[in-house]
Amino acid sequence: MIRVGFRFFLLALLVLSIAALLGGSLIAAASPTSVEILTVDGTIVPVIADYIDRGISQAEKNGATVCIIELNTPGGLLDSTERIVQKIMNADVPIVVYVSPKGAWAASAGTFITLSANIAAMTPGTTIGAAHPVSGGGEEIPEDQMKKIVEFSAKWMRTIAEERGRNMEQAELAVTQSKSFTDVDALGYNLIDLRADNLTSLISQINGWKVTLASGQEVIIDTTDYVTTRNEMNAVEKFLHTISDPNIAYILFTLATIGLMVEFYNPGLIFPGVAGGISLLLAFYSLGVLNAYWGGIALILLAVGLFIAEYFTTSFGLLTAGGVIALVAGSLILFSHSPGIEVNRGLIAGVTAGITAFAVFVIGAIIRGQRRRKVTGTEGMIGTIAIAKTPLAPTGTVLAQGELWTASSEGDTVAPGEEVIITKAEGLKLWVTKKLKE
């Protein structure tokens, strides 16, 4: 009787153990799968490549079922695109590139990224294509150089399409003939795998798809029961991406120009100079990231120098005119070495008009003040106090009665900020001496 009870106990223990194991398996199987989502909206620059690299690596580490990249881009830098495509094609997790939302596009660099995915999808009303290399400033690229760039890009696009089983001929036309495709066209030409109205529809449609990873492993995507995790850009990445926009970079450069002009015109205000200096540093970062052409930067800096020189030289607007020409020319060629990146022409026109108006206003105020002083006589200025705005060694600029004057020191060199006494005035020029310290 005892033996029977012991055997029954062992049998019950065995059954319970098996049930526990099966129950654990069922619980594991019933746990929701993870769908990680990255969002790219804007120009493809290094910080975007870093973000996608980090996002895909995180998805691999978390054992995600699939990683979806929502994409909306006008294009971007070739080296950043290469990094992204390599990361996608060598990922250990299925990658879906989804051109979204409606009205979005995946132009130029975005086409390479879309076609490199394991699964390429588009929202109705979106577009891909136009991947022909172009000059960011709108200038003609030398024929030999253009031919090499186009040949490389076309072969690379063809290789990506072949690897993913897509239409190589149509993909190549996006490069060689700047061909664009609507979502319907892209699906019909086998450039993408599906169309989806929204993210929920996309996740539902890819359920059960079989993809082959770079390692050769075949994976069946299971999204029967899933949870989504959005891996957004962090604060630093968002800031760097914002200032890496060519239009933002240009605006920063403009703010730096205005700030420095104001500070040179009226030394000691501090804020314009500090704001201009910070804007200039941020602008240099952006221009460096966007591979701006040094010739364009040099022309814009020359324009700034000419605008500032106008305040201290009687050129009757010639220096300002030269500054305007240099500013426009520099703006147009600023991104001539960065295919797919350009500054909005309307923004260039607005900035040029604004800076020119500011320069003309300041110069006009100086000239009007000096002419008024000449008409009413300058004798009343003799013996009054002026402040040196530039070194007087012996000639420079002083601020007298709220106006800038060309002045020469009759004695020792005068440093900026020192007080001087006006001893003589002839026409538009003053003669001064140092004020004796009490």
SS (H, E, C) 140-190: CCCHHHHHHHHHHHHHHHHHHHHHCCCCHHHHHHHHHCCCEEEHHHHHHCC
- Ranked by mean pLDDT, the top range of 306-320, 355-369, 392-406 is 392-406
Q: Are 269 and 338 members of one domain?
A: yes
Domain of residue 389 covers 378-434
- Give a yes or no: residue 360 inside a domain: yes
Q: What is the rounded CA–CA span in Å between residue 35 and residue 51?
A: 17
Are the CB atoms for 157 and 172 separated by under 8 Å? yes
Number of domains in the chain: 3
Of 34, 80, 100, 108, the catalytic one is 108
Q: Which of 339, 356, 374 is the last residue of a domain?
A: 374
Q: What is the rounded CA–CA span in Å between residue 253 and residue 50?
A: 25
- Ranked by mean pLDDT, the top range of 7-21, 138-152, 277-291 is 277-291
Q: What is the rounded CA–CA span in Å between residue 404 and residue 264?
A: 12
Q: At a CB cut-off of 8 Å and minimum separation 6, what does 86 contact?
A: none
Q: Are 135 and 161 members of one domain?
A: yes
Q: Which of 185, 202, 233 is the last residue of a domain?
A: 233
Q: pTM (2 decimals)? A: 0.68
**Helix and strand numbers, DSSP H then E, in the chain:** 14, 16
- Give a yes or no: residue 10 inside a domain: no
Radius of gyration of the chain (CA): 33
Amino acid letter, residue 236 = V
Is 70 exceeded by the pLDDT of residue 230? yes
pLDDT of residue 136: 44
pLDDT interval class at 371 (50, 70, 90): low
Q: Are 393 and 356 members of one domain?
A: no
CATH number at residue 46: 3.90.226.10
Q: Which of 233, 259, 291 is the last residue of a domain?
A: 233
Q: What are phi and psi of 46, to 5 degrees?
A: -50, -40
Are the CB atoms for 70 and 38 separated by under 8 Å? yes
Share of the chain above pLDDT 90, in %: 34
pLDDT of residue 26: 37
- Give a yes or no: residue 7 inside a domain: no
DSSP 8-state secondary structure symbol assigned to residue 436: P
Using DSSP's 3-state secondary structure scheme, residue 85 falls into: helix
Q: Are 348 and 370 members of one domain?
A: yes
- Give a yes or no: residue 16 inside a domain: no
Q: Are 173 and 263 members of one domain?
A: no
- Cα 197 to Cα 100, 129, 182, 350: the distances in Å are 9, 20, 14, 39
47-93 pLDDT tens trace? 999 999 999 999 999 999 999 999 999 888 888 999 999 999 999 99
Q: What is the rounded CA–CA span in Å between residue 405 and residue 400?
A: 7
pLDDT of residue 143: 65
Using DSSP's 3-state secondary structure scheme, residue 198 falls into: coil
pLDDT of residue 351: 83
Q: What is the rounded CA–CA span in Å between residue 49 and residue 354?
A: 35
Of 148, 210, 238, 374, the catalytic one is 148
- Ranked by mean pLDDT, the top range of 22-36, 235-249, 345-359 is 235-249
Q: Are 149 and 294 members of one domain?
A: no
Task: Give per-residue burial for 357-373: e unless 16+ CB within 10 Å, then b.
Answer: ebbeebbeebeebbeeb
Q: Are 228 and 156 members of one domain?
A: yes
- Give a yes or no: residue 403 inside a domain: yes
Cβ-count burial of 150 within 10 angstroms (0-12 exposed, 13-18 middle, 19+ buried)? middle
Q: At a CB cut-off of 8 Å and minimum separation 6, what does 28 contact?
A: none
- Cα 376 to Cα 26, 386, 427: the distances in Å are 99, 19, 11
DSSP 8-state secondary structure symbol assigned to residue 65: S
117-140 pLDDT tens trace? 999 999 999 999 987 665 444 444
Catalytic-residue membership of 148: yes
Cβ neighbours of 346 (radius 10 Å): 9
